[in-house]
């Protein structure tokens, strides 16, 4: 009898251990399931701009610009203003974003027979920094950028924007508002100062451009959504140079303080999976 009870107890114990082992295995498999890859939505596009050939010029040219934006998949596409730098919102609080930002400043070349003859070439510059934007209401955005220049200039530039963003039907969105740009002396002088050597070579009087408020202006944009992933847009931006930029003989004698840019472009969005 004792042998029979022992056998039964062994079978019950084995069954319990087997069930526990199976449950543990299932739990382990659940924990070892591969974590789904993060999904991102990437927006790529191109833009053509008819704008002054250099800041302060009264002659325009057509210039291409790339458009790049990244956001978490499933989130709505954020508003992008015509003068926004390329940025990624690292800190996202719903109605505000903070993250890195960058802008490319094209070179200003000194060509014979042009307004910049004798002033020397200012190479391209990259401006890197941080942006912050805040939606005061669902239709009103404020944005600030603070950027440090490299290569063409080594100063600090800052842009302050405000945009009213108004959907007009399911496909059209209209926006617009004021702009202010500030720049340090180191960010202003390479483009607007004229030293003694440049004065002799160009025939313009010497000038020492200081930093401060570089320009004020306003802009407006229209965006049309062709499909949920494909959109086109057009804009016009007006900028009035001020301070040391407006006072430069390059602007006063050979250019204009009134700067107008017209742009048009298209973007396409698609989802990608992160390998991490």
Given a cut of 90, whether residue 37 has pLDDT beyond it is no
Q: What is the pLDDT of residues 173-201, one digit of tens each?
A: 999 999 999 999 999 999 999 999 999 99
Task: Retrieve residue 12's tokens.
Answer: 């019950």
Written as one string, the DSSP assignment of the chain is: -HHHHHHHHHHHHHHHHHHHHHHHHHHHHHHTSPPPPPEEEEEEEEEEEEEESSTT-S-EEEEEEEEEEEEETTSPPPP--TT--EE--SEE-SSEEEEEEEEEE--B---TTSTTTTS--B--EEEEEEEEEEEEETTEEEEEEEEEEEES--SEEEEEEEEEEEEETTTEEEEEEEEEEEE-HHHHHHHH-B-HHHHHHH-PPPB----EEEEEEEEEEEEEESSSSEEEEEEEEEEEE-HHHHHSHHHHHHS-SEEEEEEEEEEEEEEEE---
pLDDT value for 31: 44
Given a cut of 50, whether residue 4 has pLDDT beyond it is no
Over residues 222-229, mean pLDDT:
94
Given a cut of 50, whether residue 158 has pLDDT beyond it is yes
Mean per-residue pLDDT of the chain: 87
Q: What is the pLDDT of residues 95-153, one digit of tens each?
A: 999 999 999 999 999 987 899 999 999 999 999 999 999 999 999 999 999 999 999 99
- Band the pLDDT of 275: cuts 50, 70, 90: low
CB 175 within 8 A of CB 168: no
Q: Where are the domains of the chain?
A: 1-33, 38-273
Which residues 6+ apart lie within 8 Å of 1 measured at CB? none
- Band the pLDDT of 36: cuts 50, 70, 90: very low
Percentage with pLDDT > 70 across the chain: 85
Given a cut of 60, whether residue 30 has pLDDT beyond it is no
Select the CATH number that applies to the domain covering 38-273 from these four: 3.10.129.10, 2.40.160.40, 3.40.50.1000, 3.40.47.40: 2.40.160.40
pTM > 0.75: yes or no? yes
Given a cut of 70, whether residue 19 has pLDDT beyond it is no
Over residues 40-51, mean pLDDT:
92
Q: What is the pLDDT of residues 62-94, one digit of tens each?
A: 999 988 888 778 777 789 999 999 888 889 888
């Amino acid at each position: 009898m004792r042998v029979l009870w022992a056998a039964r107890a062994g079978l019950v114990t084995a069954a319990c251990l087997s069930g526990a082992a199976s449950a543990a295995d299932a739990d382990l498999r659940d924990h070892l399931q591969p974590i789904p890859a993060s999904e991102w939505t990437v927006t790529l596009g191109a833009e053509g701009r008819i704008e002054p050939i250099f800041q302060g010029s009264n002659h325009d040219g057509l210039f291409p610009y790339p458009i790049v934006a990244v956001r978490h998949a499933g989130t709505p596409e954020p508003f992008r203003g015509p003068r926004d730098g390329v940025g990624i919102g690292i800190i996202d609080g719903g109605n505000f974003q903070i993250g890195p930002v960058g802008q490319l400043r094209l070179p200003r070349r000194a060509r014979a027979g042009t307004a910049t003859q004798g002033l020397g070439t200012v190479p391209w510059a990259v401006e890197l920094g941080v942006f912050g934007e805040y939606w005061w209401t669902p239709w009103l955005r404020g944005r600030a950028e603070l950027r440090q220049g490299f290569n063409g200039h080594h100063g600090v530039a800052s842009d302050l924007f405000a945009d009213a963003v108004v959907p007009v039907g399911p496909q059209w969105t209209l926006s617009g508002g004021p702009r202010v740009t500030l720049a340090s002396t180191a960010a202003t002088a390479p483009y607007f100062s004229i030293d003694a050597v440049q004065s002799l070579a160009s025939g313009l009087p010497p000038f020492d451009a200081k930093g401060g408020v570089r320009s004020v202006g306003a802009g407006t944009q229209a965006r049309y959504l062709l499909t949920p992933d494909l959109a086109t847009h057009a804009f016009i931006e007006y900028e009035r140079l001020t301070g040391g930029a407006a006072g430069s003989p390059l602007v006063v004698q050979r250019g204009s303080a009134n700067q107008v840019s017209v742009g048009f472009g298209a973007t396409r969005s698609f989802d990608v999976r992160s390998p991490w």
